[in-house]
Amino acid sequence: MHGLKKPANADWTIPQDWAAYTPQEHRTWDRLFERQSAMLQGRASQAFLKAVDVLRLGQPGIPDFEVLNEKLAKLTGFEVVAVPGLVPDAVFFDHLAHRRFVSGRFIRTPEQMDYLEEPDIFHDVFGHVPMLADPMFADYMQAYGEGGLRAGSLHAIDKLARLYWYTVEFGLVREAGGLKLYGAGIVSSYGESVFALDDPSPNRLGFDLERVMRTRYRIDDYQQTYFVIDSFEELLRQTVETDFAPLYEALAVQEDLEPPTVLGSDRVYHRGTQARGR
Ligand code: PHE
Ligand code: FE
């Protein structure tokens, strides 16, 4: 039944059907979890690492959403709901605006340990859910959903999507011990969780809202630029306090920036060699 591409409900959610997972699928989760959690010690943000513990994501087997949601609801009021695959933008935003995060329920095969095209439950749950247990980040995600509904009517979803990409999926945060990972696309990837932090190839630049929304991104390889936020509190404050409508208008008449671009106005933590992209 897993992988069926038809929504059962108007909001596109389907039951997780936890009992249907095979022992091999549970073992795939365990292998992915062990490999990533070892890798992320000292690399992922404090908020992420703490939440992996608090949510008990290291218990054997694929998490059961009912069990997980009890913990998550107490921490931030967020909830994880299963969907058959990618959902329309408006559906995705509406769930976020109501503090629901949509997750795939299928898990990759053992042959796909390092690469897959569609987000699976390991990416969605291990990658995203820990940050949903952080109060600041949970508020950011909800506000993002509301902002997405608004961006739809302002014809600016492509610009707002870049903010999601460079924060929620591929963000870095500055902490006392140096730069740390929090983006779900990075922390759920064995290769990119080294590359994003340690490789000389990509740029690491200070986060700037308008600059990020001008910047195109790659979906076919590791990122050529990562943006570093000062804190989750600051990210939330800035995005909530800024009216995006004038930004969208300004961006509509500006040229997009290519992913490896470094501007004179950027705060440069590391100027990438871009050796990987060549
Ligand atoms: N403040 C944004 C707007 O005016 C909404 C938003 C909040 C977007 C937080 C992203 C994150 O549209
Ligand atoms: Fe994701």
Residue 189 annotated in active site: no
pLDDT tens string 172-220:
999 999 999 999 999 999 999 999 999 999 999 999 999 999 999 999 9
In this structure, which ligand is nearest to the CA of 219?
2
How high is the pLDDT of residue 277?
73
Q: How far is CA 100 from CA 69, 95, 144, in A?
A: 10, 5, 12
Percent of the chain with pLDDT over 70: 97
Which residues make up the environment of ion ligand 2, defined by Cβ < 5 Å?
A: 184
Which residue out of 188, 189, 192, 193 is catalytically annotated?
A: 188
Q: Which atom of ligand 1 is nearest to the CA of 243?
A: 4
- Pocket residue to mutate for ligand 1, from 92, 137, 146, most atoms within 8 A of Cβ: 146
Task: With cut-offs at 50, 70 and 90, classify the pLDDT of residue 1.
Answer: very low
SS3 at position 99? coil
SS3 at position 101? strand
Question: Taking CB atoms and a 6 Å cutoff, what residues make up the pocket around ligand 1?
Answer: 143-144, 147, 150, 163, 239-240, 242-244
The answer, yes or no, to whether residue 127 has pLDDT greater than 70, is yes
Averaged pLDDT for residues 30-46: 97
Q: Which atom of ligand 1 is nearest to the CA of 151?
A: 12
Mean of the per-residue pLDDT values for the chain?
96
Q: Which atom of ligand 1 is nearest to the CA of 236?
A: 9
pLDDT tens string 246-266:
999 999 999 999 999 999 999
Do 16 and 79 touch, CB atoms closer than 8 A?
A: no
DSSP-H helix ranges across the chain: 23-40, 46-54, 65-76, 89-97, 121, 129-132, 135-153, 157-164, 184-187, 190-198, 209-213, 232-241, 244-252
Longest dimension (CA), the chain: 55
Rounded to the nearest 5 percent, the helix, strand and coil shares of the chain are 50, 10, 40
Averaged pLDDT for residues 135-145: 98
Q: What is the pTM of this model?
A: 0.96
Which residue out of 123, 189, 192, 193 is catalytically annotated?
A: 123
The answer, yes or no, to whether residue 26 has pLDDT greater than 80, is yes
C-alpha of residue 128 to centroid of ligand 2, in Å: 7
In this structure, which ligand is nearest to the CA of 126?
2
Residue 188 annotated in active site: yes
Residue 123 annotated in active site: yes
Q: How far is CA 198 from CA 166, 178, 192, 212, in A?
A: 18, 12, 10, 22
Strands 203-206 and 268-270: antiparallel
How high is the pLDDT of residue 116?
85
**Distance (Å, whole) CA 215 – CA 236:** 20
- Evaluated on CA atoms 42, 185, 117, 221, the torsion sign reads negative
Which residue out of 25, 95, 103, 128 is catalytically annotated?
A: 128
The answer, yes or no, to whether residue 13 has pLDDT greater than 80, is yes
Residue 98 annotated in active site: no
C-alpha of residue 194 to centroid of ligand 1, in Å: 31
Which residue out of 169, 189, 192, 193 is catalytically annotated?
A: 169
The answer, yes or no, to whether residue 3 has pLDDT greater than 60, is no
In this structure, which ligand is nearest to the CA of 103?
2
